Amino acid sequence: MRVDKRKLSSTLAAASAWLCVALLHGCVSPPPRATGDLGIIIERADGAVQIVDTTHRHSLAKISGLGDLSHASAVYSRDARYAYVFGRDGGLTKIDLLNARIEKRIIQSGNAIGGAISQDGKIVAVSNYEPGGVKLFDAVTLDLISEIPAVDSAGKRSKVVGLVDAPGNRFVFSLFDAGEIWVADARDPRQPVVHKHLNVGRQPYDGTVTPDGRHYVAGLFGEDGLVLLDLWNESAGVKRVVAGYGKGSQPLPVYKMPHLDNWAMSQTSAYVPAVGRHEVLAIDTGAWLEKVHIPVAGQPVFVVARPDGRHIWVNYAPPHNDTVQVIDVLTHQIIQTLHPGKAILHMEFTPRGEQVWLSVRDDDRVDVYDTETFQRIASIPAAKPSGIFFTYRAHRIGL
């Protein structure tokens, strides 16, 4: 068979021209995109999340259909491609960040408050108010693996709060009504082994774990003080620390429950909100004793350390929820007071701390601040934003 060289040359030229046109019009696959500088913003008014790019400080996509996000939180898969969003309506939604879509969504309870992902990334745990308890799901399929009912020694169900992951594929959580802390060993997720610590104090309202995974700390709403559990020496039981920090003074009405889920640590100090008081407590994490009470503008909600630990950022409950303050850890003095807008609900630092993103709920936007100059450098429109969660959380214990 003879080949017509002129015809072949003409065909190749046409194919080359078509390829050039396809490239110009975006007809070929886009280049690969990593997830290290991505994150999500919860839009509680719309039941939606925005996927954002922290390098260029802009929104990439909006995904709707996530239900009631009035108290939503999120964790990430090990590869930081998928976000798991825990909704107040009991919804658990798996989001594909790269394709900007819902991978799967289930309703797993009547009222949920948060969740965690295991050390090996295979199990997603959800804590529930109604009917209480913790459920374990397969991180790939969201199929239910097992359930841990939160029933106390008197046979009563309890709300579960302060759920975090811990080393050894463990989950640690508090029973608000029962005043207990449980540690669930989920190395066999179908038959988790639960260790129960009873009578830890009145109404543990939230919990967190230190960055090394050693200590679980729960705040108490029903009394002054914190509860400490050493996960390296769990048999020693719980320890009450900074008990009676109010020293008999009358606490103020609490207008918004403070949070412990962004652990503020710097050097040998931990910084936590004082319930019902206009104070941040600095605690020596060697002896777990109070160091100083830092007067602040209002009742703290989130007390968050910049990633390098140099500064502590604080936001507040109403009527001071238009204010953010910055504490210098060397002097324990307020070095900056900002008024970004109405209802600052959440603060999230970029991984190395050069930016902090603030939800300004009642002004329908998220502001980005330079953490050295304290100047606003960007704003992103968002419908009643609340939680902000960046993908660096995929590689941190307890986040």
DSSP string covering 215-244: EEEEEESSSS-EEEEETTSGGG-EEEESTT
Asked if residues 277 and 258 have their Cβ atoms less than 8 Å apart, the reply is: no
Asked if residues 70 and 50 have their Cβ atoms less than 8 Å apart, the reply is: no
Q: Tell me what pLDDT residue 222 has.
A: 85
Distance of CA 141 to CAs 65, 99, 124, 216, Å? 19, 17, 10, 29
- Which residues 6+ apart lie within 8 Å of 54 measured at CB? 37, 38, 39, 350, 355, 357, 390
Cα distance between the two ends of the chain: 68
Q: Helical H runs in the chain?
A: 5-24
Is residue 51 included in any domain, yes or no? no
Q: Is the dihedral of CA 171, 175, 178, 181 positive or negative?
A: positive
pLDDT in tens, 332-378: 999 999 999 999 999 999 999 999 999 999 999 999 999 999 999 99
Q: Tell me what pLDDT residue 304 has.
A: 95
Q: Tell me what pLDDT residue 57 has.
A: 97
Please state, in angstroms and rounded to a whole number, the distance separating the CA atoms of residues 305 and 153.
38
Structure tokens at 39: 């994150």
- Which residues 6+ apart lie within 8 Å of 7 measured at CB? none
Is residue 350 included in any domain, yes or no? no
Please state, in angstroms and rounded to a whole number, the distance separating the CA atoms of residues 108 and 69.
15
CATH of the domain at 202: 2.130.10.10
| H/E stretch holding 331 | none
- Residue 291 φ then ψ, to 5°: -105, -50
Structure tokens at 128: 């529930």
Strands 48-53 and 38-43 turn out to be antiparallel
SS (H, E, C) 144-159: EEEEECCECCCCCECC
Is residue 158 included in any domain, yes or no? yes
Is residue 129 included in any domain, yes or no? yes
Q: Which residues of 157-191 are buried (b: 16+ CB within 10 A; e: fewer)?
A: bbbbbbbbbbeebbbbbbbbbbbbbbbbbbeebee
Distance of CA 65 to CAs 11, 55, 94, 102, 306, Å? 49, 27, 12, 9, 33
Angle at 43 between CA 42 and CA 48, to 5 degrees: 90
Is residue 207 included in any domain, yes or no? yes
The amino acid that residue 102 corresponds to is I
Please state, in angstroms and rounded to a whole number, the distance separating the CA atoms of residues 265 and 314.
13
Residues of the chain with pLDDT under 70: 1-30, 246-256, 261-262
Please state, in angstroms and rounded to a whole number, the distance separating the CA atoms of residues 293 and 246.
10
Is residue 322 included in any domain, yes or no? no
Q: Tell me what pLDDT residue 71 has.
A: 87
Distance of CA 67 to CAs 49, 63, 76, 283, 329, Å? 11, 11, 19, 39, 40
| H/E stretch holding 87 | none
DSSP helix/strand/coil, 177: coil
Strands 344-349 and 333-338 turn out to be unpaired
Is residue 369 included in any domain, yes or no? no
Please state, in angstroms and rounded to a whole number, the distance separating the CA atoms of residues 273 and 282.
9
Q: Tell me what pLDDT residue 246 has.
A: 62
Q: How many CB atoms lie within 10 A of CB 312?
A: 26
Q: How many CB atoms lie within 10 A of CB 247?
A: 7
Model pTM score:
0.90
Beta bridge partners of 145: none
Q: Which residue bears the tokens 């959800």?
A: 126
Is residue 133 included in any domain, yes or no? yes
Give the count of domains, the chain: 1
Ramachandran assignment for 33, one of left (phi > 0), alpha (psi -120 to 50 degrees), beta (any other): beta
Beta bridge partners of 82: 96
Q: Could you list the residue range(s) of the whole structural domain that residue 193 is in? A: 108-252
